[in-house]
Chain A
Amino acid sequence: MADQQKPDEKKYWLDDQNNVKKIIWALYIVCGLSVIADFFYHKHVHYAAEDWIPGMYGWYGFIGCVFLVLSAKVLRKILMRDEDYYDEADDD
């Protein structure tokens, strides 16, 4: 990140890797808190599955996103072409 930093340029808060780590830790903590929050209120649910384990929505979102990204990577193997793929096709 710092390699392209111009020497005379202002140093930004995010340029410091420690601050980036702080943000990531903050995210871990907030995620944990959101799960713990499930113990402190009565959840109004439409389906019983919504309340199987604390943080049900969180786990669903996490697994959903990992599935999304990993399957998109597989899709890329099948679908990705050169940037000018259609230009070439037009010139045939």
Chain B
Amino acid sequence: MIEFPPGLLLIIGACFVPLLPHVVRNAYMLALPVIGFWGLLILPEGIHFAFDIFGYTLSPVRVDGLSLIFGYIFHIAAAISIIFAFHMKDTVQQMAGLVYAGAAIGGAFAGDLITLFIYWEATAIASVFLIWSSRTEAAYRTGMRYLVIQVGSGVLLLAGAILQYKATGSLDFSKMGLTGPGPVLIFIAFGIKAAFPLLHNWLQDAYPEATVTGTVFLSAFTTKLAIYALARGFPGTEMLIWIGATMTAFPIFYAVIENDLRRVLAYSLNNQLGFMVVGVGIGTELALNGTAAHAFSHILYKALLFMSMGAVLYRTGTIKGSELGGLYKSMPYTTGFCIVGAASISAFPLFSGFISKSLIITAAATEGHWIVWLILLFASAGVFHHSGIKIPYFAFFQHDSGKRPKEAPSNMLFAMGIAAFLCIAVGIYPAPLYAILPFQVNFVPYTTTHVVTQLQLLLFSALAFTILMKTGLYPPELKSTNLDFDWTYRRMLPKLLKTIGKVFVPADQFVRTVFLNRVEKFIASVFRHHGPEGLLARTWPTGSTVLWVAVLLALYMVFYFI
């Protein structure tokens, strides 16, 4: 059997895409993740392809339970995203999608920090083309901001790796904990891509600006690679529990008032990452299993939700809640798939979120983190509220917008169908997913207590939505921009710089004017004394010269005799 480094097949394969005619291109692109997946199945655990360069030992491929589960789901996500984009003929996006997916897969198998850095930056550079391909002014600017932040994260990772090498003499990417400046820099680098609070805005900024198909790719890889990296490098880091809990809670407030439905999904993506980060922070086997399982099911239902919203955007040209409504009449299949995704993210029993999120929540309870546990339950209710109800309700139901778009193209429906099938299959029969988790699982999701309590939580959230809607208390969808932390670097800092400019420029000009005046005065005085009319430049009559010579001689004689 031929072994090859996971992910590299997709990256190299992407180079041949432009050479192929469109007829065979789709089949070729789909074949890459399928073959890559098969390659994973035959790849034995351990370190592969290790080599020495300039005295450093690099191990580009490390296969174990944690990397494998992320490898599997990344391949599945790539395949689904490719099918969803079958109708598209934009070569740039096709190549970018493949390279991006390949880089994320490679990153999940990186055994050392340098390999990780290379893949880390490759995901950033490849993915920005999925944003720029929208070919709008807004997308261009968003892409620039995205690129600066993503590449910046990579630079921090590299700096951290160098410091870590200086401190420990090893470039291995393994559990490090916050033990020095190197790991702290690496932690921040991971935190940027994992969208920690205050480092999160690139996500809500970029994902809604990307193309219809690009967002589906984006939703799967970058942030989950960061979750994998955190689970690898910083399991059991107490701080992550609180960071994660904050992440679950605060984006949902924004999700409630956001009008752009893809941005609502970006906020709820952020909230779901919070659950995974809590799992990493708790760091027990149960919790880390929960993080891995939740990443797996999350990628599927998040892709499904972004696909359904992508289909709506593709057919109607808008994704604003204020302009949509009543689409279930002409897009019934898309509506159905969207509801499956919504039920999965809300963790309804029999859907994928139920069997993965509960691992993390149970871990929080058993480890005695009761405040965090309460926050997670609140966030679970909130997720149902904005992703579970708001997304399908405002897009497909609510008041009739009068729009009657065609049903989504068949390739889109097929991709959504696969994702929806997997969401339900994993929810009904979680055993295969539990079998590929990094640690042995003894967890039974379907207990009477769990099913009933979860149903209570969700049904009463729906009740709250209904009552708020009926009483008119629910905030309507409005065309708006909601200020978030990115205000600091999109508005405050530029304004501050301009204000500083406004003070500094006049001050600077004042100093310059004063100085120039001095110089001018000096020149004028020199001119007065030495200019054509100046006292010292005047031509003297001979008589006065003789007089001055006589005076000088007299003085000389006086001094001589003294």
Contact = CB atoms under 8 A, between A and B. Distances in A.
Contacts, number: 164
Contacts of A44: 447, 449
Contacts of B370: 47
A24 B471 CA distance: 14
Nearest to A73: B475
B28 interface: no
Contacts of B481: 80-86
Nearest to A68: B382
A72 to B, nearest CB: 4
A60 B412 CA distance: 38
A18 to B, nearest CB: 15
10 contacts: A34-B452, A41-B448, A57-B377, A57-B456, A61-B461, A62-B463, A62-B464, A72-B254, A79-B482, A80-B483
A64 B378 contact: yes
A46 interface: yes
A30 B466 CA distance: 14
B452 A64 contact: no
Interface stretch (B127-135, B179-187, B394-402): B394-402
Nearest to A20: B397
B462 A27 contact: yes
Interface of B: 138, 141, 252-254, 256-257, 326, 328-329, 362, 365-366, 370, 373, 377-378, 381-382, 385, 397, 399-402, 447-449, 452-466, 468, 470, 473-475, 478-484, 490-491, 494-495, 498
Contacts of A65: 381-382, 385, 460-461, 464-465, 468
Contacts of A76: 257, 475, 480, 482
Contacts of A92: 494, 498
A81 B402 contact: no
B45 to A, nearest CB: 35
Given A45-B449, A61-B377, A72-B256, 20 more contacts: A1-B399, A31-B459, A34-B460, A35-B456, A41-B448, A46-B373, A57-B460, A60-B378, A65-B382, A65-B385, A68-B252, A68-B253, A69-B385, A69-B473, A72-B254, A75-B253, A79-B484, A83-B480, A85-B481, A85-B483
Interface residues of A, number: 55
A69 B468 contact: yes
A62 B385 CA distance: 10
A34 B456 contact: yes
Given A31-B459, A57-B377, A90 B141 contact: yes
B294 to A, nearest CB: 19
Contact of A69 (B456, B474, B478): B474
Looking at chain A's contact residues, is the secondary structure mostly helix, strand, loop, or mixed? helix
B365 A80 contact: no
Contacts of A37: 452
Given A1-B399, A57-B457, A79-B483, A69 B463 contact: no
Nearest to A30: B459
Contacts of B490: 86, 89
A74 B378 CA distance: 19
A14 B365 CA distance: 41
A12 interface: yes
Contacts of A16: none
B461 to A, nearest CB: 5
A22 interface: no
Contacts of A86: 481, 490-491
A43 B378 CA distance: 20
Given A55-B456, A64-B382, A46 B466 contact: no
B246 to A, nearest CB: 15
A58 B460 contact: yes
Interface in A2-57: 4-5, 10, 12, 14, 24, 27-28, 30-31, 34-35, 37-38, 41-47, 50, 55-57
B534 to A, nearest CB: 52
A61 B457 contact: yes
B142 to A, nearest CB: 10
Contact of B257 (A5, A75, A83): A75
Contacts of B402: 4
